[in-house]
Structure formats: structure tokens, C-alpha cells
Structure 1
């Protein structure tokens, strides 16, 4: 999984003098007896590309709908630009929303689809054509302006919907699973187009997605959600490398999880006792870790080394047999079964042809990793 980091200088969330564009303060949303959003505090800054990430039913779409004005909080306050949004309808907010279905008018040309909202706004009529042409250039759709939606590709329709959403220059653009209808390769290409457009317009984007790779690619920060709560908010590299819980470690990317009992070491290290006859695992102590408490060691497969002979000068070494191999083109993932039945995954880059692969099924191998490669997390 790749984590696309924004330029280092863009980190308004670290500046105490920066005022967030959006604030959720103690926001709860209930539907009857069901709590969809549970006492959330969240700040999103201007020019951010912010991702709400989580499984179906975690509350991310409800959070977005409250921002748009389609739902009202049961408790708490939402402010945009310092203004309380309570009672303000969607059409009175400087917010636009782009839906997964795109909702384009099939009988109108691309040009007229983009112009539709402008013609019903207070923009001067002699300025509309110039604004539509600007949006066509921004989304590289100039030569398709006279076509109808059915005459262009899915990726191009996505860009039309984006151009229409940006035409009125909203402070905030909400994107609800905007790439879900695209095939994988087109979705990956469009992610970078979205990032480029967001940076050029400097509009604040908030995207709802259940696609971890999408969130990690486009976002300046990611909020990982579960059961109506925000579990962690951080940059993609920190979400991936420093998850604050077993849930986040398991939800983002691929990970090995080994359960046991923790002991605190020196210099931020922790020891995990995990299986009879196996040496303790040394890792970095995660947030809230307590001595002699249940804990889980989390390590990414790409940080696990695989070798035929036992490596020297490494503390964390286990031996096992290759149970399965997943060939993914650029990488191979080896599923190695330990004597107690535990499976640990190790990834290697395929810099040799398949016929020259060093390891195969049933091979006895050693797995090893450095003392700082994994985290010992509470629970």
C-alpha cells in the first residue's frame, strides 16, 4: 500500500495559530435508538484533502451528510468558517457535494451540465461562459464540451461532475465514494487527477471512502472510523507506520498480528511473550501499553525478512515452513507456518524472473525483523 504524503510544509493542523475551516464539537447523531455518530470532535483545515475512511456502516456518510446539511446533529455543533451550521439548509452553505452516481443530465451537453448550476446562481450571465470554459480546461474536457454524457467514458463523466461541483467555487467540496464506479486502473489514474485539481483550486476536499489505498493516496490526513467513532486522525504515513490501535493496524493495509502479554522495556521498547518455546518479540511500545497486560504485536509483511539460513545479530527470529505463496507481479507474499500453527506473511520484491524464485512451497525458512520494525499495541 502506498502512502502519498503532501509537501512537508503543508501541515496546518500542527500550527496552533491556524483556525480550522470545519469543526465538529461533541457531535452525536441518533436515528431512533441507533447511534450513528457518537460524540465526535474533529477539525479540518483549509486546503486539506481530508479522507473519512471506514467499513460500511461506520458513520462516515452520516458525518458527510451533516456537513452538507442533509442531516442535523442530535447533539453538538458543526461550524464552517466559524459559522454555526444549525438550521442552515444545504443550498445556503458554501458547500457542494459530488455523488458516486455523478447525477449528470443525459439530455444536456457537457458544457451545459457544467453551466447548469451557474445559470441558477447570482453569477452575472456574461461571466458564465468564461467560468465554464475555465472548468473545462481545469478538467481537460475542452474537446468533449459538445458531447452528451453517454458519449464519453466513465472517467470523463467523473471529471464533468467534478467540474460542475467546482464551478461555483465552494469553500468545501464533499465527495461521496466518487471513484467507486470506475475500474481499478482508471480509479488509480483519476486519484492523481483529483489531487492535482484540488491543489490547483485550493478548495478543501472531504472524501468518503472505504478504499484504504484511495484514502492513503489522495489525502493529506485520514480519519479512520468504526461504529460511529473516530479511532485515529493522522497523515497517511503515520496511519500506516504508527497505528494507535490493533483496529487501525488491521484495517489499513496488510499486517501480521501476534497476540501475547507485554512487558515494557527501555527506550520506548516493549517485549511480547507469545508462544511456548519461542523467544520474546521485541518491538516499539504503542500508545497506552501496560506491563503484564494482553497485547498484540503488529508488523507489516514487507518489514519481515525471509532467508534460508538463520540470520546473525537479529533478536527477532522464527523458523517455519512455506505454506502458501501469493504472486502479485511486482511482489510475492510468502505465508509461513510456524510450529504452533501461526501464519506469518513476508513480502519480497520480484526482481528475478518467476523461474528463478529462491523459495517455494514446503521450504523451511527463517523469518526475521529488526527491533523497531513492529509495534506492540494494547489489547
Structure 2
């Protein structure tokens, strides 16, 4: 799905498939969801992302019908779904545990919901075969769940969830039980299946990488509130708050005081005895306002010579090195004790590192490389 073409959320005439309107959910004195409004559109692969206890699973359970909102309204395709019981909603849910029937074959697991709906035999046959093909499980059709791998069980659960052609599929940490390599492969399979079926997927995850990989948009949540709803690249490159910058990916956050030096240009006084930093920002800051400069390690250049003409230049010593195969991350300690991370891509096989522990190095970045955020 081409992201430049598929963006129903920017079209004011598009009607959302799901609409949360001022939804609050309380459990006794605890507020799990706090006056939350959100639109999700048809054919989106939408991610609810946040730490444990942020309210993302509660939102999913309300969509599925396992919980009712304490206040507010949830609509599916323009209809209030509060009075509709879970089994009558055009919504299916795939659980983290997969919840497959151990005594049934893969084929019968997928057919289970269709048989409950008393569909004609040939329709069930056709639909199950279609699902087996979609999830590439044809040759495992007669096996029981314990005779196949974790990744295959995950695909059976997905096929069973999609068999009834729901308008909306909810996925609760669906890849949590898989190892890293299999999880990455399965993420792309999920995206392909979602694109092929055109079903709207809403995934709950606490894994930032997973959300960034699969989702058309991400809602970052904390303590029952939406912190930012945007595309993965917007959330990474233009986080709305320090919390989001820190939550998504790796980041350096430098606190200081802003001073305007021109249109959208600021000088940041941040440490005694250090040159002010220079940053561009379309957000406006008053003079001496506390601000935070968030800058990703890959946007910080590291060199043994002082760079010419760079907007921001700092000197420090290499304190730590993390070698991740494709990347090396250098933790550089500044004279005032502040630590800055710089990342370089390992494009060639390295016989010898350019920098090693205790080396004196120069860090530099442009005025537009970081994002200036309010405290």
C-alpha cells in the first residue's frame, strides 16, 4: 500500500470506520481510558502503542465488546456498538495465546467459526481453502496445532480470525511469543495479508519497532491518554513531546534555555562553559524558556578532526561502543559529564574501528537535525 496514496485521515470527506468519541473507562477508582477521541479508517493497519498499563488493551477490549465504556460513545461504520454483543459485531479478535483447539486439525480450527454460523458445506470448504492459501498453510491442513511451529500456529490463528471476513480484526500482541527473526518475518506476512484482504487491522503492541514496521498510523498512549497519533515517520522525525521522542527509538535529549536569533532559529544555552547549540524550529519559544533538543544518534556525525562549518560542534571522549553488526553506537562523554550517542553505519567489513575507547572525538550536527520540544 503506497503511503503517499493511502491517507484517508487527511481527507475531510472520508468517514472513519471506528470512532471513539470522548470515551472514558473506569474500573472502580482507576481511570484506564481518560476522555479519549480517535478515528480509525477502513483498510488501515493501525497500531496502539504504549507501555504496560497505558490503556491500549482496554481500548481493544471495548472494540471487541468485552468491556463497555463508562462514558462516551464508540461507533463502528457509523453505528453505536455499545448495545451490540461481541458475537454480533463484525469484529474478530486474535489473542496473544492464539487459543487454538488442540484436538482439532488446522483445517477444522479455521472452519470452526464458519460451522458455528451454519454455512453451507461447500462455502466452508471454499473459504477454508482460501484462508490456507492466503496464510501458506495448505500442506499443514491435516496437522494438529502441536505438530506445527509457533509461527505456523500464529498463521492458523490469523486464518481463523479472517475466515468470517470481519470488517475489523483486533490483534493483541500477536507476535509476542515468537523469536526476533521469526517475528520480523511474520510482520511482513501480516502486512501482505492485511493488504490482500483489505481488512482493517488494529494491533496492540508495546514493541516500538513492530508498530513502526507494520502500521499505517500509530497512536502512542500513556496513562489512558493519546500522546500523539501520526504516521511512523512523523512520530520518529517530529515527535510531539519529550515522552514520545524518548519512547520511540534511540535519542539524545539535551535540556537548555531557548533564545531566538532569527526567524525559526534558536540558540540553546545548555551547559556552563559550553558553546550554545543552534536549532531550527517552527514551534515558537520565548526567551529563556526551558526547552529540550531531541536528536537521533544517526544524525550526529563523529570525527577525529574538528569539522568545518558545522552548526553544532562538541568535543568529548569515547566512553562506550555498542557494535550491532550493521551499526556502531558511540557513547561520547563531554567534559561536563553529559553523554551523547552518535551512530555510524558499518558499510564495509571493518578490520579496525575508526575510534576506540578513550579516544578524543568531535561530534557535529546541523541546525535542522534535532527537534526542539517544550519541557
Please report the TM-score for the alignment, with normalisation by the length of structure 1.
Answer: 0.97
SS at match of 1:325: strand
| Alignment check: 8 A CA contact 1:260 1:294 kept | yes
Q: Which runs of 5+ in 1 are unaligned?
A: none
2:297 is the counterpart of 1:321 = no
Identify the match of residue 177 of structure 2 among 181, 189, 197.
181
* Contact 2:3-2:216 within 8 A present in 1 as well: no
Residue number in structure 2 paired with 1:135: 131
Which residue matches 2:51?
Answer: 55
Task: Name stretches of at least 5 consecutive residues in structure 2 with no aligned partner.
Answer: none
Taking the aligned partners of 1:29 and 1:291, their CA distance within structure 2 comes to: 41
Aligned residue number for residue 39 of structure 1: 35
Pick the aligned partner of 1:312 from 300, 305, 308: 308
C-alpha deviation, 1:36, in angstroms: 0.4
SS state of the match for residue 355, structure 1? coil
Aligned to 1:356, the other structure's residue is in SS state: coil
| Contact 1:262/1:376, CA 8 A, preserved across alignment | no
After superposition, the C-alpha distances for 1:261-291 in whole angstroms (9 at most, x for unaligned) are 1223434333211001212212232657444
RMSD of aligned residue pairs (Cα, Å): 1.2
1:175–1:51: structure 2 CA closer, same or farther, 3 Å change rule? same
1: distance between equivalents of 2:251 and 2:282?
15
Could you tell which deviates more after superposition, 274-283 or 236-245?
A: 274-283
Which residue is equivalent to 1:102? Answer: 98
Shift of 1:92: 1.0
Q: Which segments of structure 1 move beyond 3 Å, counting only runs of 4 or more?
A: 264-267, 286-291
Partner of 1:23: 19
The answer as to 2:264 corresponding to 1:293 is no
2:224 is aligned, of 186, 208, 228, to 228
Closer, same or farther: CA 339–12 of 1 in aligned 2, 3 Å: same
Q: Distance in 2 between matches of 1:299 and 1:136?
A: 46
Q: Give distance in 2, aligned partners of 1:92 and 1:267.
A: 57
Cα deviation code 1:319-344 (max 9, x no counterpart) = 00000000111110000000000000
Q: Distance in 2 between matches of 1:45 and 1:321?
A: 49
Do the aligned residues in 2 keep the contact of 1:286 with 1:375 (CA within 8 Å)? no
Q: 2:267 touches 2:278 (CA, 8 Å); kept in 1? A: yes
Alignment partner of 1:150 out of 146, 149, 154:
146
Q: Which residue of 1 is the match for residue 212 of structure 2?
A: 216
* Cα contact 1:96–1:172 (8 A) shared by 2: yes
Aligned-residue offset at 1:352: 3.4
> SS at 2:20's partner residue?
strand
Q: Distance in 2 between matches of 1:291 and 1:117?
A: 63
1:65 aligns with 2:64: no
Q: Establish whether residue 115 from structure 1 lines up as the match of residue 111 from structure 2.
A: yes
Q: Secondary structure at the match of 1:250?
A: helix
Match of 1:83 in 2: 79
Shift of 1:350: 1.3
C-alpha contact 1:289 1:377 (8 A) present in aligned 2: no
- Choose the corresponding residue for 1:241, options 237, 240, 252: 237
Tell me the distance in 1 between the aligned counterparts of 2:191 and 2:120: 30
What SS does the corresponding residue of 2:262 show, helix, strand or coil? coil
2-structure distance, mates of 1:286, 1:307 = 30
1:179 and 1:252 mapped to 2: Cα distance? 19
Residues 265 and 135 of structure 1: is their aligned pair in 2 closer, same or farther, counting only changes over 3 Å? Answer: farther
Whether contact under 8 Å (2:264, 2:284) holds in the other structure is no
